[in-house]
Amino acid sequence: MLISKNAQSGFTMVEMLVAVVILAVGLLGLAQLQITAIKANSQSATMMVASSLAQKIIEDIAAINDDDTLFTTAVTDATWPGSPFTAGEEDELSGGTYDVTYTVDIGTGSGYKGVTKLCLIKVKVKSTSNLMNVTGNKKREVNVSTIRRAV
C-alpha cells in the first residue's frame, strides 16, 4: 500500500510552540548558570585579594627587627598601619576595601606556650562592606597567624 505525501507537509503550530517553550526553558537555565558563574568568579577574586593582603602583612611582620616593641607587648585587635586598604583602585573591577587588625600574644612570664621570647601574631583581614557571593552578599574575612621569636 502506498502512502502519498501532501505537498504542504510540515510542522504544526502546536509542535512549533512546544519546541519554542523547550528552547526558552533551556536558555533560562543557561542564563542562571551564567549569573552563578559571574558571582563565583567575583567571590574568588575578592577572596584572593583578602588572602594576598593578609600574606603581605605577615611578610611585613617577618621583616620587622626582632627587638621591635611589636614582639614585646601583648596587643588585642590593634589596627594595622595604613588600614583600611582598598584593592583594585587602578582598574574598573574593585577588589573591595579591607580593615586589617592584628593580635600579639606573648604569653605570660616565659613567653608563648612556655617558650621564651616567642609570640603568636594573628592577622585578621575583613571587608568593610558586603561583597558579591554565590549564596548572597557577605563580608570577606581571612585570618592568618604566624609565630615569631624576639630577642
What pLDDT does residue 93 have? 46
Per residue in 73-92, pLDDT tens?
778 888 888 888 887 655 44
Domain membership flag for residue 25: yes
If pLDDT is split at 50, 70 and 90, which confidence band does 124 have?
very high
Domain membership flag for residue 108: yes
Range of the domain at 102: 13-149
CB 88 within 8 A of CB 136: no
* Grid cell 583578602 in the structure block, residue: 50
Domain membership flag for residue 5: no
What pLDDT does residue 38 have? 85
Domain membership flag for residue 126: yes
Domain membership flag for residue 2: no
N-to-C CA span, the chain: 104
Domain membership flag for residue 81: yes
> 139, exposed or middle or buried, with CB in 10 Å at 0-12, 13-18, 19+?
middle
Number of domains in the chain: 1
Domain membership flag for residue 30: yes
Domain membership flag for residue 71: yes
**In 44-95, at which residue ranges do the beta strands (DSSP E only) sit?**
75-79, 85-87
CB 61 within 8 A of CB 150: no
Share of the chain above pLDDT 90, in %: 11
